[in-house]
């Protein structure tokens, strides 16, 4: 059982792929250990298998008692196939924490009929280094205690923003859930642009990666400065940055493109519901 105050004493994690494993690592880093943790994962990675062995977690136990928290981290498309095996895990007192993109509280209740204490959350992949951010929505039945457990489970891998409208989870998904991919694609594009400007590819790749990582860290450490101020700090009047920003901030520049991308992600989340 966990000695850590804050995390649930017993957890069943369903799906220990990229996000499930990131959560598991975060909980372990908080001191979670013992047989109260059951992991259901038909294709456990070496890392997950080793972590389970090191921490005394039960990996694919033949039977399991209902845990305080049931954490769902399978793909949304797998829910129909997996849910029947979880009905007994999701009682009226169980915190059901789902990170499935698109799947609504109603979709979960339709498959786990006794579940009442449902929290939907949307973390992101920086969770794997403890630097994620999650948006979370608790359905009205969720009491303060369960909300606290959900905060602890998500807080183990980064920041948590509670939102009061379930519909906004799709927007969170489109901004911060998918967001790391946009940033990584920006690095790919900056690398390509550097090569087109004459740089050897390896150097362009190192410059682009370090620029985004450094700018991200500067942003993080400059909480009192807005992104606009940080941008202005780079931009000499009549200089090189101003020339580039005239392109990026044009009417058909980055803002409308990103707005279209976020809208597409949001629409896709809606399509995944049901």
Ligand X SMILES: NC(=O)C1=CN([C@@H]2O[C@H](COP(=O)(O)OP(=O)(O)OC[C@H]3O[C@@H](n4cnc5c(N)ncnc54)[C@H](O)[C@@H]3O)[C@@H](O)[C@H]2O)C=CC1
Examine residue 94 and tell whether it contacts ligand X (CB under 6 A): no
Provide the edge-to-edge strand list for the sheet that holds 132-138.
58-59, 37-40, 11-14, 69-72, 95-98, 117-122, 132-138, 158-162
Examine residue 153 and tell whether it contacts ligand X (CB under 6 A): no
Q: Is the dihedral of CA 265, 267, 271, 273 positive or negative?
A: positive
Interior CA angle at 270 toward 266 and 274, to 5°?
Answer: 160
Which residues is 135 bridged to in the sheet? 122, 161
Examine residue 132 and tell whether it contacts ligand A1CAB (CB under 6 A): no
CA distance 202 to 115: 52
Count how many Cα atoms sit within 13 Å of the Cα of residue 4 in the half-sphere of its side chain. 21
Q: Which of 2, 10, 12, 15 binds ligand X (CB under 6 A)?
A: 15
Examine residue 78 and tell whether it contacts ligand X (CB under 6 A): yes
In angstroms, what is the minimal distance from the CB of 7 to ligand A1CAB?
Answer: 23
Pair 116, 145: CB distance under 8 Å: no
Pick the closer one to ligand A1CAB by CB: 181 or 193.
181
Pair 101, 42: CB distance under 8 Å: no
- Site mask for ligand X (CB under 6 A), range 176-205, x = bound: -x----------------------------
Question: What residues contact 225, with CB distance under 8 A and at least 6 apart?
Answer: 233
Examine residue 30 and tell whether it contacts ligand A1CAB (CB under 6 A): no
In angstroms, what is the minimal distance from the CB of 117 to ligand X?
Answer: 19
- Site mask for ligand A1CAB (CB under 6 A), range 99-118, x = bound: --x-----------------
- Site mask for ligand A1CAB (CB under 6 A), range 168-207, x = bound: -----x---xx-----------------------------
Pair 166, 135: CB distance under 8 Å: no
Which residue is listed with tokens 């090569």?
195
DSSP 176: I
Selected range binding ligand X among 50-58, 76-84, 148-156, 251-259, rule: CB under 6 A: 76-84
CA distance 9 to 27: 11
Q: Which residues inside 207-226 make contact with ligand X, applying CB under 6 A? A: none
Q: Which does 40 bind (CB under 5 to 8 A by kind): ligand A1CAB, ligand X, none?
A: ligand X
Examine residue 118 and tell whether it contacts ligand X (CB under 6 A): no
Instruction: Please give the residue ranges that form the binding site for ligand X (CB under 6 A).
Output: 14-20, 40-43, 73-76, 78, 82, 99-101, 122-125, 177
Which stretches of the chain bind ligand A1CAB, using CB under 6 A? Answer: 101, 173, 177-178
List residues forming the annotated binding site for NADP(+).
73-76
């Amino acid at each position: 059982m966990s000695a850590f105050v804050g995390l649930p004493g017993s957890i069943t994690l369903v799906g220990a792929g990229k996000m499930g494993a990131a959560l598991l690592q975060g909980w372990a880093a908080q001191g979670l250990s013992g047989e109260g943790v059951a992991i259901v994962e038909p294709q456990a990675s070496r890392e997950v298998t080793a972590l389970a062995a090191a921490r005394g977690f039960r990996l694919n136990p033949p039977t399991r008692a209902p845990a305080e928290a049931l954490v769902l981290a399978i793909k949304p498309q797998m829910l129909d196939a997996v849910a029947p095996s979880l009905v007994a895990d999701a009682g009226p007192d169980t915190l059901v924490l789902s990170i499935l993109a698109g799947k609504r509280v109603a979709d979960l209740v339709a498959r786990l009929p006794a579940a009442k204490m449902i929290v939907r959350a949307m973390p992101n992949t920086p969770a794997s280094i403890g630097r994620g951010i999650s948006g979370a929505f608790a359905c009205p039945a969720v009491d303060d205690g369960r909300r606290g457990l959900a905060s602890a489970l998500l807080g183990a891998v980064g920041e948590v923003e509670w939102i009061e409208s379930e519909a906004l989870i799709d927007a969170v998904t489109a901004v911060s859930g998918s967001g790391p991919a946009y940033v990584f694609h920006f690095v790919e594009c900056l690398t390509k642009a550097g090569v087109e400007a004459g740089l050897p590819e390896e150097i362009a790749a190192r410059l682009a990666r370090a620029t985004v990582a450094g700018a991200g860290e500067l942003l993080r450490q400059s909480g009192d400065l807005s992104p606009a101020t940080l941008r202005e700090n780079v931009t000499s009047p009549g200089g090189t940055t101003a020339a580039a920003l005239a392109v990026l901030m044009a009417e058909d520049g980055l803002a409308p493109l990103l707005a279209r991308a976020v809208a597409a992600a949001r629409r896709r989340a809606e399509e995944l519901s049901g």
